[in-house]
Amino acid sequence: MTTTPTAPAPLQEQFDATIARDQRIEPRDWMPDGYRKTLIRQIAQHAHSEIIGMQPEGEWITRAPSLRRKAILFAKVQDEAGHGLYLYSAAETLGADRADLTERLIEGRQKYSSIFNYPTPTFADVGVIGWFVDGAAICNQVPLCRSSYGPYARAMVRICKEESFHQRQGYELLLTMMRGTEAQREMVQDAVDRWWWPSLMMFGPPDGDSPNSAASMAWKIKRHSNDELRQRFVDMTVPQAEKLGVTLPDPDLRWNEERGRHDFGTPDWSELQRVIRGDGPCNTERVARRRSAHEEGAWVRQAAAAHAARRAARAEKEVAA
């Protein structure tokens, strides 16, 4: 294609053209303020969810029933810390400050996924979290690998690989428990009953009530609507539940021949609103735990900063010499 030299396109037009061509926006590129703010909010919430998400399962590390289960759970929880790290780094490429984002989280000014405000009373919860929560995360996150913002999309590629390991470890744990005693099978069914509806809520409110979705779709930050992703999760999970031998607690759940998809009931949206507002079963303890971990870790951050400053000063001296 030949081009004749023209005046440089205005920045907004260039940005729009990049999005229209399905190319990536990179940190050095100009971007509209709303795009930057939406991304910072979404990536920060995502990072916070990874970090807070370490808690419900982390509680089982000391009580895991075998060394093998302990090692697997340790690795999984550590992966979640890594996911938080990649995502905070992605937010920093947009000019956000990680310390400021953490402050916002522990002061309750920024949200994290409401799913992590539910308790984990039995070891079956570890399995069901892997199967449902990491499974829902995969449905949400695979399309984000094609998100229009480069650093976010690239972080998601690696995160998704690890999430699929998480999901399989959860499912494998449950298969093992289902081959065990009657009491273990009951424990699995009980955990399924408690986590099913909160997991469906992970995709957010219905499309009609999702105020930020339209802009995110237009900017190709988000690729599919909440309802579409929820449907995918249901369609993916039903055959897995059959194979496992558990019942999903929804009397309206059935295959719809015409649509070629499952019909399912409506989650209790008032519960989602309540948990988002801070009235879930574990909101207070999750944030308090994060706050105390942050405060107890202050000396580590100070020592690391002092070490980095000393190394930088030494490197500068060597360059000068």
Which residues of this protein are in contact with Fe ion, per CB under 5 A?
A: 50, 80, 83, 134, 163, 166
**In degrees rounded to 5, what are phi and psi of residue 65?**
-75, -10
**Nearest-approach distance from CB 21 to Fe ion, in angstroms:** 30
- For the CB of residue 137, give the shortest distance to Fe ion in the complex, in Å: 6
d(CA 67, CA 63): 10
The smaller minimum CB distance to Fe ion, of residues 36 and 289, is found at 289
- Given the complex with Fe ion, which of 31 and 153 has the nearer CB atom? 153
Q: Least distance (Å) from Fe ion to the CB of residue 280?
A: 20
Beta bridge partners of 263: 254
Q: Which is nearer to Fe ion, 125 or 163 (CB)?
A: 163
DSSP codes, 101-154: HHHHHHTTSS---GGGGS---STHHHHHIIIIIHHHHHHHHTGGGG-SBHHHHH
Amino acid identity, residue 166? Answer: H
Residue 50 or 250: which CB sits closer to Fe ion? Answer: 50
Closest CB 4 distance from Fe ion, rounded Å: 49
Give whole-number Cα distances, 311 to 145, 315, 320, in Å. 36, 6, 14
**Nearer CB in complex with Fe ion: 25/142:** 142
Tell me the C-alpha distance between 172 and 170, whole Å: 5
222 φ/ψ sector (left φ>0, alpha ψ -120 to 50, else beta): beta
Q: Which is nearer to Fe ion, 218 or 293 (CB)?
A: 293
**Residue 257: CB minimum distance to Fe ion, A:** 34
The distance of closest approach from Cβ of residue 307 to Fe ion in the complex, given in angstroms and rounded to an integer, is 29
The conformation of residue 207, written as its DSSP 8-state character, comes to: G
